[in-house]
Structure 1
């Protein structure tokens, strides 16, 4: 279960920072940006899930990201799993 202190905005900032850490150019990240165009793949999404679990306490499984195409999809997955 997610910490009660988690907000949609905090989760979004965390996820976007993680996408940059995984190699995406910050200036190219937008809600409609395709992960593939940002140079991110399924392994990167697995790493994102691990970071979300480790730092936010939100359980995200690799299969949760199977249908993720754009940044907003990834945010929706994390928000949903966090109950936000």
Structure 2
């Protein structure tokens, strides 16, 4: 038995690399790429965006649904203060899975500006 093992050992050392098991470091050293795959590759329609933004705004207690239009301003028409307006922008970020930079978030003061921003955001879904 030991003679056979000694005879085969040199053959195993020179065997083709495909027949040798890879060390564990090579197997686990590949970076793990995580990605999201969505079925709607064409993007969102303007009507879908408008409906979802209006639903986000309707979920706020301080917003009167009767005053809610596309041209309504957050502070003057809907009666929201600056902190509420920030919360609205954060809720829109969460709804569409986007990140709005602070400088651009300050520019979103109306419902229509929020709709336009989401419509022009390529990562919105």
TM-score (norm 2): 0.51
Check if 1:12 corresponds to 2:50. yes
In the superposition, relative to structure 1, how do residues 74 and 16 fare at CA in structure 2: closer, same or farther (>3 Å)?
same
Cα offsets for 1:2-51 (capped at 9, x unmatched): x6352221111111111121231111111222211202233333323333
Q: Equivalences for 1:10-49 in 2 at 5 Å?
A: 10-22=48-60, 23-36=62-75, 37-49=77-89
* Residues matched between the structures, number: 82
The structure that is helix-richer by fraction is 1
Greater relative contact order (Cα < 8 A, sep 6+): 1
The unaligned stretches of length 5 or more in structure 1 are: none
The question of whether the paired residues in 2 share the 8 Å contact of 1:34 and 1:71 is answered with yes
Which stretches of structure 1, 4 residues or more, deviate above 4 A after TM superposition? Answer: none
State TM-score, norm by structure 1.
Answer: 0.68
